[in-house]
Amino acid sequence: MAESDPSDTLRAAPSRQPAGGTGDGVDELLASVLQREGPRVTRMRELDSGGMGRIEVVRDRLLQREMARKVLHDELGRDTRAVRHFLREAQITAQLDHPSIVPVHDLSLTHGELEFTMKMVRGRTLTARIRALPEGPLAPEDLAELLGVILRICDALALAHAKGVLHCDIKPENIMLGDWGEVYLMDWGIARPCEPRRGPGAPEPIRISVGEEGTGMIAGTPAYMAPEQVLGEVLDPRTDVFAMGAVLYELVTRHPPYEASDVIELLQLAERGEVRLPSESFPDAGVPRSLERIIMKALARDPAERYGRVEDLRLALQQFLLGGAEFRRLRLRPGQHVVREGETGDSAYIVERGRLRVYKRFGDEERTLRTLGRGDVFGETAILAESPRTASVVALEECWLVVVSRDTLEREIDGLKAWVGVFVRTLARRFKEREEEAARTRPSRARPSSVSPHELANLVLMNLLTWGAREPPGRLVMPWDRLATELMQLTGADATELWDALQGHPELVIDLVGDRITCTDPGAVRRRLRAERR
């Protein structure tokens, strides 16, 4: 039998007190905690001081916890406007029950000092986090972390707006990052009412017992203020959306949208609402264009051009972070065209369901090039190189297509690492240049070439046999683009005729993406060509 620890024995010893009894031990225990002499809350140190008051770190003796206490400056204690601001901040913050809004514990007048206590937050401001970033473009992990902070602030604002409150002073200095991953939107001192959300499931509107502020008041931080806020006009949630755009702007450029030597100049800049693109303001930032579009939409001078709700801004940022987009789907009826030869397009298509016919006209003759089915992609040349469509595509039956627009493709490329985006765009540019060069050197003809499909297929086989690389088991492989270009220049045939000439030979497999042609069985192609010649 193992020895027992005396301390374990003491902890496990059952109470000898009868069930339901009080006993002297309980009275002594309660008295030791609840009836000590002296104040319950003791001041430990001053944490910060601002225009309205000071923030102290205090300790609650009964609950054994540290709290933050905000105290109105003595000289403002008889100022009606200052007292109203202070009381409103305490009441508003206390009613915004959200993980990213600091809880308020108590509001009191103690020894002539107006104060309220709230949760103590340990960490640093978003301003300090931005200043600690290394120079140059944001690393992907830093950008993801900072945008994650913004998403959580958007959540807090969405609740406030739903309950009928605008923050009106959103800036990095008022966003706290806790040591353990907490994110808080601080300082609701100049918050203003707005129309609360109505209908089923809407939260209870904010109740304020000290009256409302008059309209036309100008308050906030000029470097982050929307034009309507500077002009003293009616505000709504889009005013806070603008400020969130200003915070995003500072994340990627390391400075706010407006910078000036004095407050008057700042106010004039904010009134005009003219913001330079982040990519112009900080060329080395490497800001993804899709993120820049989100920021500039939030910072639109006209509120009607901004995101209507902070939830819409949050959704746009979330989609950017996920690197995905909602692709539009297109339904086609039989006989309906999706692409017409000669037109300029800006979309590619993926066949999700159904069959389509690709055809090209040669004078009065209409020639089918191929049939498309599920999983096939077409239109990619126009989306990458902005060149005219080289053929028409018509639905043979009811079809569903996934539409990939140039704008969507740009957003997806922007979501990649910077070097990948540069690489893809360079390939697209070179592809376009090569197509234009081929068009300039190709003989101009008003009708199809006199070279027969049999001769073209035979030339392809000869080139494969002479210059092709051999791969097991008995395959011949060579670059398709180079071979096609040489044969078109040699024979005067165009790409359509060359493609058609090979359709009768399933052993000749063309991989346009991989830029290669593979002959899986040279003997079979040779026998078929001999039979055709006879």
**Angle at which helices 310-322 and 289-298 cross, to 10°:** 180
Give DSSP secondary structure letters for 108-177.
Answer: EEETTEEEEEEE---EEEHHHHHHTSPSSSPPHHHHHHHHHHHHHHHHHHHHHHHTTEE-----GGGEEE
Q: Rounded distance, CA 339 to CA 354, Å?
A: 16
**Residue 35 burial by Cβ neighbours in a 10 Å radius (0-12, 13-18, 19+):** exposed
Q: Exposure string (b/e) for 486-503, b if CB count within 10 Å is 16 or more?
A: ebbeebbbbbbbbbbbbe
**Residue 344 burial by Cβ neighbours in a 10 Å radius (0-12, 13-18, 19+):** exposed
Cβ(52)–Cβ(189) under 8 Å?
yes
Tokens of 234: 């009616």
**Residue 294 burial by Cβ neighbours in a 10 Å radius (0-12, 13-18, 19+):** buried
Tokens of 34: 């609840």
**Closest C-alpha among 185, 226, 6 to residue 100:** 185
β-strand partners of 178: 123
β-strand partners of 353: 400
Q: Rounded distance, CA 14 to CA 11, Å?
A: 8
Tokens of 525: 């192609």
Active site residues: 169
Q: Rounded distance, CA 85 to CA 116, Å?
A: 13
Q: Rounded distance, CA 453 to CA 500, Å?
A: 7
Alpha carbon separation from 264 to 259, 261, 267, 498 (Å, rounded): 11, 9, 5, 71
CA angle 479, 369, 454 (to 5 degrees): 65
Cβ(349)–Cβ(401) under 8 Å?
yes
In the DSSP assignment, the letter for residue 203 is P
Tokens of 444: 């101009």
Cβ(505)–Cβ(457) under 8 Å?
yes
**Closest C-alpha among 54, 161, 157, 173 to residue 101:** 157
Tokens of 258: 């407006």
Cβ(69)–Cβ(115) under 8 Å?
yes
